[in-house]
Structure 1
Amino acid sequence: MISTNRTLRGILLACASLMPAVAFAADVTAEAPEGSGDEIVVTGQQPLTQSTSGTKTATPIMETPQSITVISNADISGLGLQSLNQALRYVAGVTAEQRGSSADVYDQFKLRGFDAPTYLDGLKLFPSATGYAVPQVDVSRLDRIEVVKGPASVLYGQSSPGGLVAESSKLPLDRDFYGAVAGTYGNYDLYRVDADVGGRASSNILWRLYGSANGAHSQADYGVRRRQTVSGAATIGDGTPTSLTVLANYSHDPRNGNYAVFPALGTLIPNAAGTIKTSFYGGEPGDFFKRDQAAVSAFFRHDFGGSWVFKSSLRYQYVKSSLGIIYTGGSPATTDAAPSLFSRFSYATREQNNGWTYDNTLTGVVETGPLKHTVLLGVDRQVSHSRELYAFGGATNINVFNPVYGSMPTPQTPYQVPGYVAGAPLQTPTLATTQQRQQGIYAQDQIAIEGFRLTLSGRQDWARQASETGGVYSQQHNQKFTYRVGGLYLLPFGLAPYASYSTSFEPQASQLAAGGLAKPSLGKQVEAGLKYQVPGTQIIATAAWFNIEQTNVVVSDPLTFLAYQVGKVRSRGVEAEVTAPLPYDFYAHVAFSRQRVKQLDDVNPANIGQSLIGVGKGGITANLDWSPKSGPAQGLTIGGAWRHLNGVYAGIYFDGVARYTPTYDLFDALARYEIGKIVPRLDGMTVGIDAKNIFDKKYLSSCYSNYGWCWYGNRRTVQGTIGYRW
């Protein structure tokens, strides 16, 4: 059961009640306000008005013809965010926290209606093609996050039509010596200890070492999350034309929460027997998920002079995981009008995932008459090998309103998964292996003439995928050309209208009913928008309209579960974000999105015209904080946020009715104070408190009604932090 420090919780909640609510100042182009959380972690120097992930060049976002949102490390640490899912809560166009409080296993979110890949330092984080060996980057390792919206295959190869999330690691900084340490504690026994130290070893050698030990109990009973992670980096040749940075990381997750599932009947759909508690766990106390991750990266840079620079990035990634769980099925085990007894199933895996990826680019500036060309030439390669040994089986039933545990053990290996029928032999595990390779060459020209900016990009990819499941071998070779055309005009009074067209492709691992692997899905997007910066201020407003079409989508027959490649999806919507430093040291951020995702073709006629499961209609977040720069309150930051999310499409339940989860509103709060303002000898020390969902709203984050499953969102969480930086 979940234990909670009631005394600390009472103190924290009392403090939280005095605050108006949370400030998140992360938007696309404005600098974070002073005191916005850098007391926790020393951050890099790249301005928030600039992005490298959208064009792979350092380009101001006001001059980039697409939507990009930047989240700084100051925002992550200042809000006490524990995962990428939480960091994406305030980004327009993102349906974050797909599995709500059960999302500790890995990050799950939708971007403009589609699953989106994650990149670290410009290189793809390869997930297992079929299983759970999925890398997850602890937020203590991140210097910033950039959300690139819309197809990005032209620069990155295989990618979602919705876009991608680009994370950036903390790297050595050009300072003689620096560091930070912080400790956090909160309800659900949440704890974090973060440390970061670095400096200059010689005139041209920099180093940095940082790590974190963190964990918590989950909202559902018996769930425990534990992680220890450490990273070390060194840069040789700093300040010279040629430099090399090597970064190594190791993360150990001995416990990674639980993968709790809640029946839709009793959560989304009324059950006369009652409503299932948010603390209910449908598995067994012995359920487990373990994961180890290791990676080594190298970043080489050479400046030829005259604006021409060569960069090479390389990473080897290794993920090993083991999973053993009992989980609740979506169907009642009885035919009662008010069922309380539900069926369960068992599952166990042993997995490994290895990946190599590198990216080489040459950039330079060429002038042809009045035209200024920023040229990018690149070649990259991605290789991933995954291996999964797994078995599905049966399990004992459970009363979801009065659960009794211990009726069966959790399978510790795939060889211990029981049969579906009582007394049947153990299941025979299945071995699945997948090999994915991709080679790409690409070129880009960013043309500037007075206020006009034209971006032309093209890429050719060669992809190979081979898989073997249960002794059945399949392979496929594909090649695809993707491109992007975008134009933007900077008007003298701060307005920048833009329009772009881009394409994408994404290989799929599904085995089709007709035999062979599915061909890659294809995407294309038209986007048009406005960006506006009030002259002489940091007040930024952006708005975008987009229309995305995805074809070659794999869909499943609801009766036979066989896969067919006949699906077609359209995502259409609008997004807007405003960041505004206001008078009297206030700072505001507002994000709005509204989207309509529609299935245009499917093997199941009932799905045509419906949305995609797990995709929200959109929502709005509004944030305000106050950080006085002078006077007796200098050093204090208080703030608050309102999060409103419209319904998330839940799919078609067993009764044939399509449903959405209910709309909900959440409120957050924070307060922080720099102790050095009143005790000078403690300069650099900061104390803070933040609370999420302060009114303890119970809500559903998403449902898969076709399986009869739902997930609860996070209840009220409160945590306090004390940190010191030098």
Structure 2
Amino acid sequence: MIYLLSVQYQNVDTDANFAYYAGGGAFAGDFTYILDLANPVYTGAPDQSVFDAIYNDAPEQTVSDTGLYLSDQISLDNWRFTLGLRHDRVENDNGVSKQDDTQTSYSAGILYRFDNGVSPYVSYAESFETVVGLDINGNQLKPEEGRQYEAGIKYELSMLPGYITFAYYDIEVSNLPNPNALPAEAAQQQGVASIEGFEVEGRLDFGEVTAQFAAATMDAEDPNGFALSAQPDSNASLWVNYAPEALSGLRMGAGVRYVGETVSENGLIRYETPSYTLGDLMLGYEVSNDLDLQLNIRNITDKEYLTSCLFRGDCFPGVRRTVNASLTYSF
């Protein structure tokens, strides 16, 4: 039996000042800065005086969080049990109002290890996130709450070093804005988002060559029953590392990453962002036990792609080819 007790404290100050020119002035009848995508004519940005007039110097926001965490790990023959409890107190001061939230979250897991390397398990976990504000009747909003059920199988291979894990998860996030609330009613927090999916991951060791792989599918809905924005419906990755014994200290790696289609929609508009596949390379050399060199190249083909597009009209381009070189010395 192993006990773990920890205390966490964090204090975050945020000062967000901004100027937002709604619709580029079109809502006020000014079409000077509207861009026709079919025949773009770049007129430049509005004068600084326009932004000065709508500049919002928002008050500083301070969030402090004190958390107490207790975990118990129990081994009984081939059984493994994990129990967890966390209690948080969050104080939020946005410069206009103050709000205190307290929440206790629980987690538990059970695993059984068969002699043939198969280990089925089930687990349960909770989470929460503070929602600052009041409803129309002046009642403090409740924290958003999350809960996750997970079941899976871990398999330690016998033919060669390695493992494979299969998992199914079901996540629910509650106390979200009520999609059916009328404008004149209190903002009852009856909205629920659901996320469920399957995952498989593993590692195989062939001596000089090791391979790591993972794949997942996900079905996610927001409180309105639409697809959860910017969340890929599937993804997969494979990374192969080669460390030849004849060239001690040298290592080479190559990988491929696949990200599935994402959807963003409301009752009138639906944007679908295509899937994309990227390749990565790595070259490293351990000069000595203390000195290590490594070169990483991500998106080796310098592919142009979009990670997601939102129904409000903006899209987010992916990271182009990046090259990083590192020199690490261990004292």
TM-score, scaled to structure 1: 0.40
1:580 equivalent among 189, 204, 208: 204
Number of the residue aligned with 1:638:
252
State the shift of 1:690 in Å.
4.0
Paired AA for residue 283 in structure 2: A
1:209-255: CA deviation from partner (whole Å, max 9, x where unpaired): xxxxxxxxxxxxxxxxxxxxxxxxxxxxxxxxxxxxxxxxxxxxxxx
Gaps of 5+ in 1: 1-372, 420-425, 602-607, 677-681
- Contact 2:238/2:257, CA 8 A, preserved across alignment: yes
| 1:567–1:418 distance in 2 versus 1, CA, 3 Å | same
Q: 2: CA distance between counterparts of 1:385 and 1:691?
A: 36
Q: How does 1:119-130 map to 2 (within 5 A)?
A: none
| 1:709–1:586 distance in 2 versus 1, CA, 3 Å | same
2:310 equivalent among 704, 709, 715: 704
Q: 2: CA distance between counterparts of 1:627 and 1:495?
A: 29
1:472-521: CA deviation from partner (whole Å, max 9, x where unpaired): x3333333222112111222232221111121221123554554553101
Number of the residue aligned with 1:485:
108
1:651 equivalent among 265, 289, 292: 265
- Contact 1:626/1:639, CA 8 A, preserved across alignment: yes
Number of the residue aligned with 1:590:
213
State the shift of 1:465 in Å.
2.9
Paired AA for residue 386 in structure 1: T
Q: 2: CA distance between counterparts of 1:522 and 1:442?
A: 18
| 1:697–1:481 distance in 2 versus 1, CA, 3 Å | same
Give aligned-pair identity as a percent: 26
1:433-491: CA deviation from partner (whole Å, max 9, x where unpaired): 434344444432211112211112223333333334xxxx3333333222112111222
1:558-603: CA deviation from partner (whole Å, max 9, x where unpaired): 998x9763320111111111111114x111110111111123x4xx
2:21 equivalent among 387, 393, 404: 393
Number of the residue aligned with 1:451:
78
Number of the residue aligned with 1:694:
300
In the alignment, structure 1 residue 669 sits paired with structure 2 residue 281: yes
Q: How does 1:405-420 map to 2 (within 5 A)?
A: 406-409=44-47, 411=48, 418=51
Q: 2: CA distance between counterparts of 1:374 and 1:722?
A: 38
| 1:511–1:430 distance in 2 versus 1, CA, 3 Å | farther
In the alignment, structure 1 residue 615 sits paired with structure 2 residue 243: no
In the alignment, structure 1 residue 721 sits paired with structure 2 residue 313: no
Paired AA for residue 659 in structure 1: Y
1:627 equivalent among 231, 243, 252: 243
**Root-mean-square deviation (CA), in Å?**
3.4
- Contact 2:175/2:192, CA 8 A, preserved across alignment: yes
Paired AA for residue 721 in structure 1: A
- Contact 1:460/1:479, CA 8 A, preserved across alignment: yes
Q: 1: CA distance between counterparts of 2:292 and 2:67?
A: 47
Q: 2: CA distance between counterparts of 1:462 and 1:673?
A: 47
| 1:720–1:485 distance in 2 versus 1, CA, 3 Å | closer
Q: 1: CA distance between counterparts of 2:101 and 2:218?
A: 32
Q: 2: CA distance between counterparts of 1:611 and 1:689?
A: 39
Question: Residue 418 of structure 1: SS of its match in structure 2?
Answer: helix
State the shift of 1:403 in Å.
5.9
State the shift of 1:399 in Å.
5.7
Number of the residue aligned with 1:501:
124
| 1:376–1:595 distance in 2 versus 1, CA, 3 Å | same
- Contact 1:510/1:563, CA 8 A, preserved across alignment: no
Q: 2: CA distance between counterparts of 1:462 and 1:403?
A: 53
1:248-274: CA deviation from partner (whole Å, max 9, x where unpaired): xxxxxxxxxxxxxxxxxxxxxxxxxxx
Q: 2: CA distance between counterparts of 1:620 and 1:544?
A: 15
Q: 2: CA distance between counterparts of 1:544 and 1:378?
A: 28
State the shift of 1:529 in Å.
1.2
Number of the residue aligned with 1:570:
194
Paired AA for residue 202 in structure 2: V
TM-score, scaled to structure 2: 0.81
State the shift of 1:699 in Å.
1.7
Higher relative contact order (CA 8 A, sep 6+): 1
Q: 2: CA distance between counterparts of 1:382 and 1:640?
A: 39
